């Protein structure tokens, strides 16, 4: 089906773009000396010693991406990802309408999915802009938290809806990948709830940094699984 092929194409780019962009920013931060005395010399705040933050958590995502020149990659990359996310959730809504003979009473995953994309765009715009205001700091945290909550809820609702109609589409998807998607979304939700007290603490800095890097990979891995979930060349229902 055309909608399935569109979803597969969009989903793989939602995985590739942010992973490549984020790790490119990390590479620049760790290897700032390569750009020394050039137009793209790295801002001192964004310079980091060698680190594998997924393991040691020595640097945060924010520090790696918010300064010059890494924000030149990160901001456009996240805005592109957000646009792809909007296309993804709209395409999924159309798919469910096709499966349900032109009606889709449950559009909650669409609302949360598009909402998460809007939060991501807002986060990208305000990233690196600093005001000495507690209200502004709260606003930035609210945007980031909004993205995470809306994204996880959207993913969970989509998986739930797929489970409800799986008998209608069982010849179009990989059942093992569906199980992986259920496990992934469950783990993401569980970790988000469990880590809330730790994130509000001023301690465990390296642990929190490592958590955010790995959590980011977990969130976008949902879209890699989507690419693998639908069978290539699926035909109309």
SS3 readout for 140-179: HHHHHHHHHHHHHHHHHHHHHHHHHCHHHHCCCECHHHHH
**174 close to 22: Cβ distance less than 8 angstroms:** no
Long-range residue pairs from 169-176, CB within 8 A, at least 24 positions apart, any chain? 169/99, 169/237, 172/1, 172/4, 172/230, 172/231, 172/234, 172/237, 173/229, 173/230, 173/231, 174/228, 174/229, 174/230, 174/231
Q: What string of pLDDT tens digits covers the 237 residues of the chain?
A: 678 999 999 999 999 999 999 999 999 999 999 999 999 999 998 999 999 999 999 999 999 999 999 999 999 999 999 999 999 999 999 999 888 876 666 679 999 999 999 999 999 998 877 776 777 778 888 998 999 999 999 999 999 999 999 888 988 999 999 999 999 999 999 999 998 888 777 788 999 999 999 999 999 999 999 999 998 765 554
Strands in the chain per DSSP E: none
Is the previous residue joined to 73 through a cis bond, with omega within 30 degrees of 0?
no
Distances (CA, A) of 43 to 68, 91, 206: 6, 40, 22
Per-residue confidence (pLDDT) for residue 234, from 0 to 100: 56
Per-residue confidence (pLDDT) for residue 134, from 0 to 100: 73
Per-residue confidence (pLDDT) for residue 15, from 0 to 100: 98
Question: Which residue in the block uniquely carries the two structure tokens 């957000």?
Answer: 82
CA distance 110 to 196: 26
Q: What are the φ/ψ torsions at residue 204 (nearest 5 degrees)?
A: 60, 40
Per-residue confidence (pLDDT) for residue 177, from 0 to 100: 96
Distances (CA, A) of 88 to 93, 121, 136, 180, 233: 9, 15, 31, 19, 18
Q: Tokens for 159, please give them.
A: 């998986």
Q: Tokens for 42, please give them.
A: 């790295």
230 bridge partner residues: 173
């Amino acid at each position: 089906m055309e909608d399935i092929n569109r979803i597969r194409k969009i989903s793989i780019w939602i995985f590739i773009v942010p992973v490549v962009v984020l790790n490119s920013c990390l590479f620049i931060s760790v290897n700032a000396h390569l750009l020394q005395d050039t137009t793209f010399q790295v801002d001192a705040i964004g310079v980091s010693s060698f680190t594998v933050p997924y393991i040691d958590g020595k640097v945060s995502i924010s520090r790696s991406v918010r300064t010059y020149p890494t924000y030149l990659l990160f901001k456009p990359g996240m805005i592109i990802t957000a646009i792809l996310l909007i296309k993804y959730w709209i395409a999924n809504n159309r798919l469910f309408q096709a499966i349900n003979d032109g009606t889709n009473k449950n559009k909650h995953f669409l609302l949360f999915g598009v909402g998460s994309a809007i939060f991501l765009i807002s986060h990208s715009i305000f990233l690196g802009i600093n005001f000495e205001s507690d209200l502004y700091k709260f606003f930035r945290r609210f945007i980031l938290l909004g993205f995470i909550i809306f994204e996880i809820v959207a993913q969970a609702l989509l998986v739930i809806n797929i489970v409800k109609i799986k008998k209608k589409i069982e010849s179009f998807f990989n059942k093992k990948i569906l199980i992986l998607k259920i496990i992934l979304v469950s783990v993401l939700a569980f970790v988000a709830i469990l880590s809330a007290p730790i994130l509000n603490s001023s301690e465990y800095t390296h642990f929190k940094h490592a958590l955010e890097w790995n959590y980011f990979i977990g969130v976008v891995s949902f879209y890699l699984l989507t690419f693998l979930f639908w069978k290539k060349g699926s035909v109309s229902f």
